[in-house]
Structure 1
């Protein structure tokens, strides 16, 4: 009996987010007899907590809900949390002694790019370190080339698209650093997606036969919903009838809602807020539209493909891999005009979406769960 590999995985919380979901998907499918896994989260909160497999040891720094506002009574709590977490960053041996009970690890994994400092400050110098870059960090202001260079202190840098792999390898100083960058597809649980999509919904917002676009994601400026509304208005004014469903919440919700009202689009655009199961709405819609300014690996596009939906998307990180350079969906320039031209094509050329549906149906999708999990095991095992 070979001894199990001892692995520490760190992430901020288990709230609804792409990286969190990916981590849970992996944990649920890793073999319990091969690994002993400790999962350390900074903030014990989120919808995925209950999905952590029972054999994974769950540790946390603080408990409570995420604080996203600055109400006076919340400021002390926020300040305490920041200091408490900083303390473990400054004195990591306290963390490993008191929270993690002096356990020795073979492999330590930062499941999200924001955890790079925490992992690099680990007092366990012999453990192999892996960082998982789930976002296009080259588009995040706080990630300067100097900060990104620090990622090469990890033994493996997992990236989720070819574009990220190329960008990282450009910063590599030698062959060894180049080899450290590995592309791995985020896993999508196909069966689970299909099962959830079949749940009946009684609040689908449209009852007519007009072409329906759907888009799903946190309402942040990066998602480009402002551009989407402008494009929608333009197409409607040109007589190209269609409707849009937006599912998600976020700090930009009120701005987008008031823009929608200003443009008088209440009849043709419906914002449904957050839905823990958006798939039945996706299944009932005709097309998926992604208007994002930037993305890491848009998991939702993979799920749209599993449900055989024609996709029109801006050219963001990960999209060329997912849509196989345009074979499985329409990739437009990352601009308002690009979104406009793409949606217009779907509305005027009825053959195009059908062609995509056929291509999707005949393609063996590479991001299906089993393939991704096998790849991750291979990476862990060779270290």
Structure 2
């Protein structure tokens, strides 16, 4: 039986993690021995792994990665990684170099500073795999490239590479050590190739796997809004992070309120931007109009009960929450991020918006004012099927001849 290893940064409640669960469920019943290594050994979704998947972490925390306690736990994990496997001086120099580059670019991103530390200080295994899959860019890609023993290696990119803050200097040649590099959309692939045109022949598109049957089943479970609000409900699902553009959404909600619209905007998700967003909400007097509900175990009943789903983000690889909203018949509004054009197909399955407070507000107004259009979009969205058969691209790697990747470097390669 051939062995497949998946590596992911965390298993928190986020889109890429849910997409991995979708793929792992597709592997059930296949003749493969499937293992998972969670680089930072934390996240709630590990409890939802299919029974046949072997979790390699000897110690694991189910703590929410975005809560205060969860972030403190992550700090402890990274500190342990700094001192594990030696090379502390090299790791410190790497952090300093990355910090200098980020300061030069005007935005410090702590995760980009520490992914190398997490990867180089993670557990190492003597076991050899037929296929190793880095499910995320950053730490899991660096770890899989440098420290996993495997005949074939594949990696996934879920973000707009440049806008997310990745650089060749940060990557240190890791992508050349993969046989296949999958982006979750054609736009996402194009963004990656702007930095790595020489790897074009190794790249492909592998859209996120969304189990529509599972989403519909879970949407029928108890849950959803409990505030008794009688107006129109807007919904966004995602981490409270800069990339998600909530500051723009809050300003858009202020414009809607000032224009006399009776609506309430809810956000499901947690993150390090909470305090800043709460201050912005209070400053604009939107405490009853823009509500941060935090992360929830089952978001799907909320989609069913919402009137509109808004996904106005600064950058994204492909919005899994948009697929989820469409599956449950919720009209969607999306900004212009990687993969968004394929999700709404020229306005057939959703409404595009400019990523400004005015642009977002105008798109929302166009649907709040037109119940018939909302119903049409809801019906079309519910009929839209998500991509199928993507996993066959991975299985094909198990049958390919000798690897294409560069074999030079750490002894663990191959």
Give the TM-score normalised by the residue count of structure 1.
0.85
Residue 366 (structure 1) aligns with: 386
Deviations 1:82-113 (A, max 9, x none): 322776989x99989xx53x322221111111
Query: Residues 303 and 207 of structure 1: is their aligned pair in 2 closer, same or farther, counting only changes over 3 Å?
Result: same
1:51 maps onto 2:76 in alignment: no
Residue 135 (structure 1) aligns with: 159
Q: Is the 8 A contact 2:210 2:386 kept in 1?
A: no
Taking the aligned partners of 1:166 and 1:72, their CA distance within structure 2 comes to 36
Query: Residues 168 and 303 of structure 1: is their aligned pair in 2 closer, same or farther, counting only changes over 3 Å?
Result: same
Query: Residues 326 and 233 of structure 1: is their aligned pair in 2 closer, same or farther, counting only changes over 3 Å?
Result: same
Alignment of 1:226-305 (within 5 A): 226-305=247-326
Equivalent of residue 346 in structure 2, options 311, 315, 325: 325
Q: How many residue pairs get matched?
A: 369
Query: Residues 351 and 157 of structure 1: is their aligned pair in 2 closer, same or farther, counting only changes over 3 Å?
Result: same
Query: Residues 72 and 144 of structure 1: is their aligned pair in 2 closer, same or farther, counting only changes over 3 Å?
Result: closer
Alignment of 1:5-84 (within 5 A): 5-60=2-57, 63-64=60-61, 65=63, 78-84=78-84
Taking the aligned partners of 1:78 and 1:193, their CA distance within structure 2 comes to 34
Residue 192 (structure 2) aligns with: 168
Q: Is the 8 A contact 2:85 2:120 kept in 1?
A: no
Q: CA deviation at 1:72?
A: 10
Taking the aligned partners of 2:334 and 2:340, their CA distance within structure 1 comes to 8
Query: Residues 103 and 309 of structure 1: is their aligned pair in 2 closer, same or farther, counting only changes over 3 Å?
Result: same
Q: Is the 8 A contact 2:131 2:152 kept in 1?
A: yes
SS at match of 1:137: coil
Query: Residues 86 and 360 of structure 1: is their aligned pair in 2 closer, same or farther, counting only changes over 3 Å?
Result: farther
Q: Is the 8 A contact 1:161 1:317 kept in 2?
A: yes
SS at match of 1:214: strand
SS at match of 2:329: coil
Alignment of 1:207-218 (within 5 A): 207-208=229-230, 210-218=231-239
Deviations 1:232-276 (A, max 9, x none): 111221122222112111111122122222222223332211111
Question: What is the RMSD computed on CA atoms of the aligned residues?
Answer: 3.2
Query: Residues 72 and 45 of structure 1: is their aligned pair in 2 closer, same or farther, counting only changes over 3 Å?
Result: closer
Taking the aligned partners of 2:87 and 2:49, their CA distance within structure 1 comes to 27
Taking the aligned partners of 1:336 and 1:232, their CA distance within structure 2 comes to 8
Q: Is the 8 A contact 1:42 1:85 kept in 2?
A: no
Taking the aligned partners of 1:119 and 1:277, their CA distance within structure 2 comes to 31
Query: Residues 123 and 314 of structure 1: is their aligned pair in 2 closer, same or farther, counting only changes over 3 Å?
Result: closer
Query: Residues 166 and 44 of structure 1: is their aligned pair in 2 closer, same or farther, counting only changes over 3 Å?
Result: closer
Taking the aligned partners of 1:355 and 1:202, their CA distance within structure 2 comes to 23
Q: CA deviation at 1:375?
A: 4.3
Gaps of 5+ in 1: none
Taking the aligned partners of 2:148 and 2:243, their CA distance within structure 1 comes to 37
Deviations 1:310-353 (A, max 9, x none): 11111112211222233200111222222122112112233322
Deviations 1:41-71 (A, max 9, x none): 2233322222223332221275445598799
Q: Is the 8 A contact 1:43 1:61 kept in 2?
A: no
Equivalent of residue 334 in structure 1, options 343, 355, 360: 355
Q: RCO greater where, 1 or 2, for CA within 8 Å and sep 6 or more? A: 2
Q: Is the 8 A contact 1:328 1:360 kept in 2?
A: yes
Taking the aligned partners of 1:317 and 1:169, their CA distance within structure 2 comes to 13
Residue 337 (structure 2) aligns with: 316
1:118 maps onto 2:143 in alignment: yes
1:194 maps onto 2:219 in alignment: no
Q: Is the 8 A contact 2:327 2:383 kept in 1?
A: no
Residue 351 (structure 1) aligns with: 372
